[in-house]
Structure 1
Amino acid sequence: MTGGMRAAVITGPGEAAIAEVAIPTPGAGELLVALEGCGVCASNIPLWEGRPWFSYPAPPGSPGHEGWGTVQGVGARVSGIREGDRVTLLSYHAYAEFEKVPAKAVVKLPDELSGVPFPGESMGCALNVFKRSDIRSGQRVAVIGTGFLGLIVTALAARKGAEVTALSRRRSALDLAVGHGAAHAVILDDHQRVLEEGATLSGGKGFDRVIEATGHQWPLDLAGELVRERGKVVLAGFHQDGPRSVNVQLWNWKGIDVINAHEREERRYLEGIRAAIEAVQGGAFRPAELVTHSFPLDELSRAYHTLIERPDGFIKGAVRMTRGGK
């Protein structure tokens, strides 16, 4: 294809604009994807807010990495993918109308997911967290933070037969967690009260698994106190704003296992995405219920503000390449 496309550009801390750039041409082993949408990820808040180590403007379309869309062009030596296939993809410039990616970095979406928003990278992360957590039937599992990732893990753990306690500062998110299989819901307000309620719900022994899905210090503190002796604390939140402190004396005394559930290999991401597709096909969770807010491409600024503020009812936002949104 020839011509231009729109791409969002973060021009400075808290500022975004739309640039007109050339539509890339797929080379050998590559695909051109006409993007439908891209999830807005909390891991990119530092770039949006500004840090001394970032330079601006960011590349067009960056740092969008949760895109999905339809294959528009196929380069030489590509097999198994054709124009018109709907896919989700691993890329880093998906705040744009088109993205060029290696064919190996896409996963085809089945026909039954036609029209369903599918930020595959983030769903794959959630499935990988669940796999690393080694959750089993009959276990007591606490999920701290019932945003997008936490809700998916809650749904999967409940289907596995675990008794899930969801913890969040937002009542609307807890209601969704119960709808996704959580047996108990605990509001995050007072530290001591949360510990007392957790002790009651875990039979006084602590939880077999505690999934920390917020990326903040206080929930990390709670995780170490809520987990039982010889239990597992799973770091699913993205801790990106500087060092964290932990009570090593407590963690050591309890003899707990600590799992950093983030993956850094492309094949692991793709495995997680494929597992997410299977989970959705099996009815484990419904993406359309979790992508609660959408924004047109030229309102990336509003998308980030909403992500940071997390108004009542918000779970995940996505930038859509069609005009309109809510």
Structure 2
Amino acid sequence: MQSTTINQATQGHYPIPEKMRAAVLFGPGDIRVVDRPVPQPGYGEVLVKVALCGTCGTDLKILDGHFPLTPPYGQFTPGHEWTGTIVALGEGVDEFSIGDRVCIEAHHGCGRCENCLAGKYTACLNYGNREKGHRASGMTADGGFAEYVLHNVSALYKMPDSLSYKSAVLVTTAGTGLYGLDTAGGYILGQDIAVFGPGPVGLMTVQACKQLGAANVFLIGTRDNRLEVGRQLGADHIINSRKADPVKTVMELTKGLGVDMAIECSGNVATPQQCVQITRRGGKILFVAFYPGQVTFDLSAVVRGDIIMYTTRGEGGNNVKRAVSLAAQGRLRGEELVTHEFPLENIAEAFRVMRERVGDPIKIVIVP
């Protein structure tokens, strides 16, 4: 049974208004900042005052109306890469205190299906079913493009004092790459890895691979600025695919063997075939990106090469916790990827800048 009881014990430190400003999706491409009631935490939930909410390519799909199981237009607030401070506790919450700074996993599984019980909550069999308890913040439930947001206690992580809010936004992003690596075996010590796509996921994955002991990390993309950031973050070789053939270059640098694992973070429909071509026999390909349409590649070559393919969705497997630890140790750098900040009232302009790549943004954050 859901409860709306709020722990009032220390709430006075953070006065909570009745109304808040929130970005609401009214139709494809139509996002407006309006007044909404501040939500009340139910059993096992907390209310968080949002400090920052990052934007990503998935948000553009949601904005354009091309993402499944989002709530109805006129009711839904997107935003799934947010961080902030707990200001109220729902009934049954004793894992956190009011005033705790937290970062998140976007996905909270139903906790009752076979996949959730096996720890695969980003593949919850009740995905999008609110009645059975599933929530995906900013995707199937209201998210962080607002002053306040609700979240389940199971999908929160307390931030160490050394971690900034900007870094915490990228910690959620880092969880995506770490979950993929975890699923694909995790043990990449001494291996050669290729990462396609120097966006936020790719750049955080490059760092994770180096911290996990990869021998050589190849970063492949189309924008020199992002590739150079990748070099600064640990990539051993950067390849601009508009200036050099990435398949030929990687094969030359690996003496014809190819990489042990290719990680596809770009979402470009042409790159899966390149992954096939640069992965050595017996190697692995990991897909973590979403694509705008169907993808074609040579599956027979995958079979002939005895290559194993993996896919993962989101930041599952408790890997945000691992990302928090790595970031706190200074082993994952996220703050420097935040290139643009916009106030919540200007969120439509932020999405325009993101879509049109004005000023070559890497990570745009919204400040409520």
The alpha-carbon deviation at position 264 of structure 1 amounts to: 8.1
The corresponding residue for 1:113 is 163
Structure 1 gap ranges (5+):
322-326
Secondary structure in structure 1 of the residue aligned to 2:162: helix
* 1:210 aligned onto 2:262: yes
Percent identity, aligned pairs only?
A: 27
Residue identity opposite 2:341 in structure 1 = S
Residue identity opposite 1:198 in structure 2 = V
The one of 273, 284, 304 aligned to 2:320: 273
Deviation string for 1:256-308 (max 9, x for gaps)?
Answer: 1101132586xx2xx11111111111222222111222211122222222322
Judge conservation of contact 2:51–2:165 (CA < 8 Å) in 1: no
* 1:183 aligned onto 2:236: yes
Q: 1:309 to 1:226 in 2, by over 3 A?
A: farther
The alpha-carbon deviation at position 126 of structure 1 amounts to: 2.3
Aligned residue pairs, count: 314
* 1:308 aligned onto 2:360: no
Structure 2 gap ranges (5+):
1-15, 107-136
Deviation string for 1:192-244 (max 9, x for gaps)?
Answer: x22221211111111111111111211112111111111111102122x2322
Q: 1:49 to 1:209 in 2, by over 3 A?
A: same
The one of 46, 49, 57 aligned to 1:31: 46
* 1:298 aligned onto 2:345: yes
* 1:149 aligned onto 2:201: yes
The corresponding residue for 2:331 is 284
The alpha-carbon deviation at position 113 of structure 1 amounts to: 1.3
The alpha-carbon deviation at position 135 of structure 1 amounts to: 4.8
Judge conservation of contact 2:191–2:260 (CA < 8 Å) in 1: yes
Judge conservation of contact 1:135–1:157 (CA < 8 Å) in 2: no
Judge conservation of contact 1:145–1:214 (CA < 8 Å) in 2: yes
The alpha-carbon deviation at position 157 of structure 1 amounts to: 1.4
Q: Which moved more, 1:48-57 or 1:217-226?
A: 48-57
Q: 1:59 to 1:86 in 2, by over 3 A?
A: same
The corresponding residue for 1:250 is 301
The corresponding residue for 1:233 is 285
The corresponding residue for 1:84 is 99
Residue identity opposite 1:99 in structure 2 = V
The alpha-carbon deviation at position 190 of structure 1 amounts to: 6.1
TM-score, length of structure 1 as denominator length: 0.89
| Partners of 2:199 and 2:354 in 1: CA distance | 11
The corresponding residue for 1:22 is 37
Secondary structure in structure 2 of the residue aligned to 1:82: coil
Secondary structure in structure 2 of the residue aligned to 1:112: coil
| Partners of 1:56 and 1:262 in 2: CA distance | 23
| Partners of 1:37 and 1:290 in 2: CA distance | 14
| Partners of 1:255 and 1:47 in 2: CA distance | 37
Secondary structure in structure 2 of the residue aligned to 1:250: helix
Judge conservation of contact 1:229–1:254 (CA < 8 Å) in 2: yes
Judge conservation of contact 1:87–1:107 (CA < 8 Å) in 2: yes
Secondary structure in structure 2 of the residue aligned to 1:217: coil
| Partners of 1:146 and 1:114 in 2: CA distance | 22
TM-score, length of structure 2 as denominator length: 0.79
* 1:94 aligned onto 2:144: yes
The corresponding residue for 1:59 is 75
The corresponding residue for 1:320 is 367
* 1:259 aligned onto 2:275: no
| Partners of 2:350 and 2:323 in 1: CA distance | 24
The alpha-carbon deviation at position 56 of structure 1 amounts to: 5.9
Secondary structure in structure 2 of the residue aligned to 1:273: helix
Q: 1:198 to 1:65 in 2, by over 3 A?
A: same
Judge conservation of contact 2:87–2:98 (CA < 8 Å) in 1: yes
Judge conservation of contact 2:173–2:315 (CA < 8 Å) in 1: no
Deviation string for 1:114-134 (max 9, x for gaps)?
Answer: 454422432321221232343
* 1:172 aligned onto 2:225: yes
Residue identity opposite 1:85 in structure 2 = D
The alpha-carbon deviation at position 50 of structure 1 amounts to: 3.5
| Partners of 2:283 and 2:290 in 1: CA distance | 21
Q: Which moved more, 1:249-258 or 1:133-142?
A: 133-142
Judge conservation of contact 1:37–1:117 (CA < 8 Å) in 2: no
Residue identity opposite 2:56 in structure 1 = C
| Partners of 2:239 and 2:275 in 1: CA distance | 14
The alpha-carbon deviation at position 147 of structure 1 amounts to: 1.0
Judge conservation of contact 2:231–2:237 (CA < 8 Å) in 1: yes
Residue identity opposite 1:185 in structure 2 = I
Judge conservation of contact 2:167–2:333 (CA < 8 Å) in 1: no
| Partners of 2:256 and 2:46 in 1: CA distance | 54
Q: Which moved more, 1:24-33 or 1:115-124?
A: 115-124
